[in-house]
Amino acid sequence: MTSELNKKKRKAILIFILPGLVLLGVFIILPFFMSFGLSFTNQRILSRLPTQFVGLRNYERLFKDDQFLIGLKNNMIFALIVVPVQTILALGMALVVNKNLKGVKIFRTAYFMPTVTTMVVVSVVWSFMYNPQGIINNFMQAITFGKWETIDFLKNSSWAFPAIMLMSIWQGAGFQMLIFLAGLQEIPKMLYEASTIDGANKWKQFFYITLPQLRNTTTFVLISTTILSLRLFDQIKIMTNGGPNDSTYTVILHLYNSGFTKQKVGYASAMTVVFFVIVLIISIIQRLLLREQREV
């Protein structure tokens, strides 16, 4: 009887996961293997020339490509700044909305609202805000009594990338906040009660109870946010298209330009494989860190 129930459960599980497995195979696994194969060819989208095997030529060219290296550098700078700032901000927001205060649900909704808004819409709205006649310049002029010099943020090489970073932090912090909030609500209340009896103040509770209990959550947030930062594309394409002077150019934008604008599918496929390897390495690091945290 037990074996029959187990078989039925297995069948039910298989039926539920089968659609997801099919979609995963058709839209992720199969395209990756196709890209891997095309990365060794000179394949183009529209060309009368026959596709030829070129070996590792695309990979050799990739690491000599100045624009690819600029994009990779910008991705790393973006990750090094956005990831820690967004994580700290999200943790602070989670601590605020985790309290039993009047109207706390309004704050939760307000903090999470940018996350459910598509990046395209957010990018268009912030482009208007960054305009020389936009709300940000007007606000700065108002608080400085007209001494602020108007800046065209998205057309200034010094300001364009920081402006996109600020917008990305604002848009994505709500998602990390939700993850931290779930982690905070899993911390046993008795730990705080016991520490209060022992005379611990709020700061000691935060550093000796809250942060240690959020180790796995923090690790997940850091690694997932880093992976998302490597996929930086939507806001760049809409707001600056990699300019001015390649100051906001990224790897994914270069991949898009190479594959669709210049129609160099083989070269873009090699770039895709390299990007996959980078994401895979980060994912392995994530698993190792989480395993170490569980052992501790």
Query: pLDDT tens digits, residue range 250-276?
Result: 999 999 999 888 888 899 999 999 888
Please compute the mean of the pLDDT values over residues 219-229 and round it to a whole number: 85
CA–CA separation, 170 and 210 (whole Å): 24
Neighbours of 39 (CB within 10 A): 24
Neighbours of 290 (CB within 10 A): 15
- State the residue for tokens 């700032």: 85
Q: State the pLDDT at residue 189.
A: 87
Q: Band of the pLDDT at 291, cuts 50, 70, 90?
A: low
Q: Is the pLDDT of residue 283 over 90?
A: no
CA–CA separation, 164 and 129 (whole Å): 12
Domains assigned to the chain: 57-295 (1.10.3720.10)
User: Interior CA angle at 55 toward 54 and 60, to 5°?
Assistant: 100
Q: Is the pLDDT of residue 243 over 90?
A: no
Q: Over the range 186-200, which residues count as b (16 or more CB within 10 Å of their CB) and which as e?
A: ebeeeeeeebeeeeb
Mean pLDDT over the full length of the chain: 87
Least confident of 150-154, 186-190, 278-282: 278-282
Distances (CA, A) of 276 to 73, 115, 225, 260, 283: 17, 25, 16, 19, 10
Please compute the mean of the pLDDT values over residues 118-145 and round it to a whole number: 92
Q: State the pLDDT at residue 32.
A: 84
Q: State the pLDDT at residue 171.
A: 92
- State the residue for tokens 């991949």: 255
The pLDDT tens digits of the residues spanning 9-45 come to: 888 888 888 888 899 888 888 988 888 898 999 888 7
Output the DSSP codes for 141-162: HHHTTT-SPP--GGG-TTTHHH
Q: State the pLDDT at residue 292.
A: 59
User: Interior CA angle at 264 toward 262 and 268, to 5°?
Assistant: 110
Beta-carbon contacts of 174 under 8 Å, excluding residues fewer than 6 positions away, are 90, 93, 111, 112, 113, 114, 115
Beta-carbon contacts of 129 under 8 Å, excluding residues fewer than 6 positions away, are 135, 136
Tell me, what DSSP letter sits at residue 55? T
Q: State the pLDDT at residue 162.
A: 95
Beta-carbon contacts of 293 under 8 Å, excluding residues fewer than 6 positions away, are 215, 216, 219
Please compute the mean of the pLDDT values over residues 209-231 and round it to a whole number: 86
CA–CA separation, 24 and 6 (whole Å): 26
- State the residue for tokens 């606000």: 139
The pLDDT tens digits of the residues spanning 41-83 come to: 988 877 677 788 888 899 999 888 899 999 989 998 998 899 9
C-alpha 250: how far from chain center: 13
